[in-house]
Chain A
Amino acid sequence: MSPAPVITGAGAVSRLGTGLPALARSLCAGPEDAMGEPADLSERLTRNEARRLDRLSQLAVVAAREAAAQARLEGIAGERVGLVAGTGLGCVETTWRQLAGIAARGLGHAEPLGFADSMDNAPAAHAAIALGCRGPSLTLTEREISGEIALITGALLLSARAVDAVVVVAGDASSEEQRSAVLRFAPGLSPAEGAGAVVLESDESASRRGAQVLGRLLGHAQARTPLPFSPLRQAPAPLLDAAASRALSLAGLSAEQVLSLPPESLRGRLGWLMADGVLRVVAGLLLLERDQRGAALVLGRARGGAAAALVLGR
Chain B
Amino acid sequence: MSPPERRAPVIVTGAGTINALGRHVAAFWTLLLRNATGIRAVPDCLGSGSEVLAAPVEDPLPAVTCAGPRLTRTDRLALVATAEALDQSGVRARVPKERIAVVIGTTTGGIREVEDALLARGGSLRGIRRSRLLLFERAATAEAIAGAFELEGPRFTLHTACASGGSAILLGAELIRAGEADAAVVGGSDALARITLSGFRALRLVGGEPCRPFDRNRLGLSLGEGAGVLVLERAEVARARGATVLAKLLSGGESTDAHHLTAPPEDGSGAARALEDALRRAGLTPDEVDHVNAHGTGTVANDASEAAALRSVFGRRAARLPVTSIKGALGHTLGAAGAIEAVAAVWTLRTGLVPPTAGLSDPDPALGLDVARGAPRRGDWKVVLSSSFGFGGANAVLCLARAEA
Give the interface of A toward B (CB within 8 A).
77-80, 82-83, 88-90, 92, 95-96, 98-104, 106-112, 115-122, 124-126, 128-129, 131-143, 149, 153, 156-157, 159-162, 164, 175-177, 180-181, 184, 204-205, 222, 224-229, 231-232, 304, 306
Contact = CB atoms under 8 A, between A and B. Distances in A.
Nearest to B138: A141
Given A104-B123, A106-B50, A156-B174, A137 B256 contact: yes
Contact of B115 (A99, A115, A119, A162): A99
Contacts of B259: 129
12 contacts: A107-B45, A133-B256, A134-B255, A134-B256, A137-B393, A139-B158, A143-B139, A156-B180, A160-B5, A162-B254, A180-B133, A231-B143
B64 to A, nearest CB: 14
A171 B146 CA distance: 26
B1 A77 contact: yes
Contacts of B153: 224
B392 A100 contact: no
A94 to B, nearest CB: 11
Contacts of A176: 129-130
Interface of B: 1-2, 4-5, 7, 45-46, 48-50, 52, 66, 70, 98, 107, 111, 114-115, 118-119, 122-123, 125, 129-130, 132-134, 136-140, 143, 146-147, 150-161, 167, 171, 174-175, 177-178, 180, 194-195, 197-204, 254-262, 270, 273, 277, 390-394
A117 B199 CA distance: 11
B195 A121 contact: no
B262 A116 contact: yes
Interface of B is mostly: mixed
A87 to B, nearest CB: 9
A128 B258 contact: yes
A107 B52 contact: yes
A24 to B, nearest CB: 30
**9 nearest A-B pairs in the assembled complex, by CB-CB distance:** A125-B392, A115-B199, A103-B123, A110-B202, A136-B254, A176-B129, A120-B159, A161-B5, A180-B130
Contacts of B204: 112
A177 B159 contact: no
Nearest to B177: A160
A55 to B, nearest CB: 15
A138 to B, nearest CB: 5
A59 B195 CA distance: 24
Nearest to B132: A177
B139 A304 contact: yes
Contacts of B158: 138-141, 153
Contacts of B393: 125, 128-129, 137
B8 to A, nearest CB: 11
A178 to B, nearest CB: 8
A180 B129 contact: yes
A224 B152 CA distance: 6
Contact of B273 (A79, A99, A175): A79
Contact of B134 (A120, A126, A231): A231
Contact of A109 (B136, B137, B171, B198): B198
Contact of A156 (B130, B175, B255, B262): B175
Contacts of A137: 160, 254, 256, 392-394
Contact of A122 (B1, B49, B140, B392): B392
B133 to A, nearest CB: 5
B392 A119 contact: yes
A107 B194 contact: yes
B48 A107 contact: yes
Nearest to B163: A121
B159 A141 contact: yes
A72 B74 CA distance: 41
A160 B197 contact: no
A111 B202 contact: yes
A112 B262 CA distance: 10
A123 to B, nearest CB: 9
Contacts of A100: 123, 125
Contacts of A224: 98, 146, 152-155
Given A100-B123, A156-B175, A181-B133, A135 B201 contact: no
Contacts of A229: 147
A119 B123 contact: no
A227 B152 contact: yes
Contacts of A119: 107, 159, 161, 391-392
Contacts of B143: 231, 304
A83 B159 CA distance: 13
B1 A80 contact: yes
A79 B4 CA distance: 11
Contacts of B194: 102, 107
Contact of B50 (A79, A96, A107, A157): A107
